[in-house]
Amino acid sequence: MSKRLFVKGNEAVAMAAVEAGCRYYFGYPITPQSDIPEYLSRELPKLDGEFIQAESEIASINMLLGASAAGVRAMTSSSGPGISLKQEGISYMSGSELPGVIVNISRSGPGLGGIDASQADYFQSVKGGGHGGYHIIVLAPSSVQEMYDLTMLAFDLADIYRMPVMVLGDSVVGQMKEALVPHKRPETELPPKDWAVRGKGDGEQRVVKSLYLGDGELEAHNWKLHAKYLVLKEEECRWEDYETADAELVVAAFGSAARIAATAVIMAREAGMKVGLLRPITLFPFPEKAFFNVTQRCKKVLDIELNTGQMVEDVRLSVVGDAEVFFYGRPPGAGSLPTPEELLEQIKKYY
């Protein structure tokens, strides 16, 4: 299992899903994520799994809802407009406390936009993209290896917390080929799915639902969901910290932007500047404490995104009061991916 492979990020996602025990996939074609359904349409039938190319993203997310309600590991993937169509289903899954993995190889927008790397769906992903006030766990890989690792983690987190988990990438991490060392599914202890429908047999009736009409019921349900989000903030924040210990300026970036930013940070170090990188891996729960801790000492943060400024709001809410937060970003589209040199200029500007 430890041999090195050279694969696309999207393939790494599909391979990790299979290794994680996912045997059910429902999706609808859209660029730049189609390698995922293509891989799974080939592999799942060999494993007695089910692959359905659904009539729409709406149908796919609801097939995922049904399969998850029946207690199996299942996944869907999409991008941009397709993820928008899934939002009602994600809201129902959140309300019904259903696990399920949603891969979003996001594209640029709004509207049909384009297929270039984009981080414009940060808000949609982390702030509850559908109605009713909820959160899902959002993981942001920045390499092919992480596409694999975080997809595998997504299935465990979904089962542990009984909620949808999104793997949020884009065409850079999805389409790029890189070395991957696949590994076995970790032996995580998972809670029994004693809520899943199965046909009641001689047991009690089980109902998977999000409707609560009794006096005080829905409020209690919402507080219960909220309590889970607080546990997530305590237990599941993940981030990468690179050379921040002595940094006088910390760059904040996630996913593909963090790859470019990392190169710029190395260039800055080579030029003698004390610059570090703080890369959130979980976008929800957002690693607030990591930003608070680093800004106890370092008072300058430069947030870089492939959009006009979204995660920067969470960075501003997390830092120590007297820290300054600067922003540099470019809305996505053909020819608008910043270069490391361009980011180095920004680092110099605020350093």
Partner 1 sequence: MQQVFRRPLSLKDVQTHFCPGCHHGTIHRLVAEAIDEYGVQKRTIGIASVGCSVFLYSYFNIDVVESPHGRAPAVATGVKRAKPDSIVFTYQGDGDLAAIGTSEIIHAANRGEQITVIFVNNTTYGMTGGQMAPTTLVGQKTSTSPYGRNQAKDGAPLRMAELMAQLEGVAFSARVAVNTSRNLFEAKKQIKNAFRYQVEGKGFSFIEALSACPTNWGMDPLRANERVGTEMCDYFKLGVFKNVENL
Angle between helices 57-69 and 80-95 (to 10 degrees): 30
Instruction: Report the phi/psi class of residue 132: left, alpha or beta, with left for phi > 0 and alpha for psi in -120 to 50.
Output: left
| 258 lies in the site for partner 1, by CB under 8 A | no
What 259-266 contacts at long range (C-beta under 8 Å, 24+ apart), as own/partner pairs, is 259/142, 259/143, 259/172, 259/173, 260/304, 260/337, 260/338, 260/339, 260/340, 260/343, 261/304, 261/343, 263/340, 263/343, 264/340, 264/341, 264/343, 264/344, 264/346, 264/347, 265/347
The span of 145-153, 206-214, 217-225, 279-287 binding partner 1 (CB under 8 A) equals 206-214
Q: Out of 85, 160, 197, 218, name the contact with partner 1 by CB under 8 A.
A: 197
Select the residue interacting with partner 1 from 140, 208, 283, 325 (CB under 8 A): 208
Contact between 50 and partner 1 per CB under 8 A = yes
User: Smallest distance, Å, CB 97 to partner 1?
Assistant: 12
Q: What is the DSSP string of 95-135?
A: HTT--EEEEEEE-B-STT-BSS---TTHHHHHTTSSSSS--
Nearer to partner 1, 72 or 273 (CB): 72
Minimum gap (Å) between residue 180 Cβ and partner 1: 29
Nearest distance, CB of residue 81 and partner 1, angstroms: 16
Find the binder of partner 1 among 15, 16, 20, 52 (CB under 8 A).
52
How far apart, in whole angstroms, are the C-alpha atoms of residue 79 and residue 57? 10
Q: Are strands 275-280 and 239-242 parallel, antiparallel or unpaired?
A: antiparallel
Stretch that binds partner 1, among 165-173, 199-207, 251-259, 288-296 (CB under 8 A): 199-207
CB atoms within 10 A of CB 231: 12
| Nearest residue (CB) to partner 1, 209 versus 224 | 209
Q: Which stretch binds partner 1 (CB under 8 A): 55-63, 121-129, 141-149, 215-223?
A: 55-63
Q: Cα(168)–Cα(88) distance, rounded to whole angstroms? A: 18
Q: Which stretch in 118-126, 173-181, 202-210, 305-313 sits in contact with partner 1 by CB under 8 A?
A: 202-210
State the nearest-atom distance from the C-beta of 85 to partner 1, in Å. 11
Q: Can residue 114 be called a binding residue for partner 1 (CB under 8 A)? A: no
**Of the candidate residues 200, 270, 321, 322, the single one contacting partner 1 (CB under 8 A):** 200
Size of the site for partner 1 (CB under 8 A): 39
Residues within window 67-106 making contact with partner 1, judged by CB under 8 A: 67-72, 74, 88-89, 92, 96
The number of angstroms, rounded, from the C-alpha of 334 to the middle of its chain's C-alpha atoms is: 23
Q: Are 91 and 132 in contact (CB under 8 A)?
A: yes
Among residues 175, 126, 172, 124, which one has the least CA distance to residue 332?
Answer: 172
Which residue number, 55 or 189, has a Cβ lying nearer to partner 1?
A: 55
Contact call for residues 7 and 57 (beta carbons, < 8 A): no
Beta carbon nearer to partner 1, 177 or 198: 198
Residue 69 or 250 with smaller CB distance to partner 1: 69
The binder of partner 1 chosen from 207, 220, 231, 245 (CB under 8 A): 207
- Listed in sequence order, the residues at least 6 apart from 219 whose beta carbon sits closer than 8 Å to its beta carbon are none
The residues of the shown chain that bind partner 1, judged by CB under 8 A, are 24, 26, 50, 52, 54-56, 58-60, 62-72, 74, 88-89, 92, 96, 197-202, 205-211
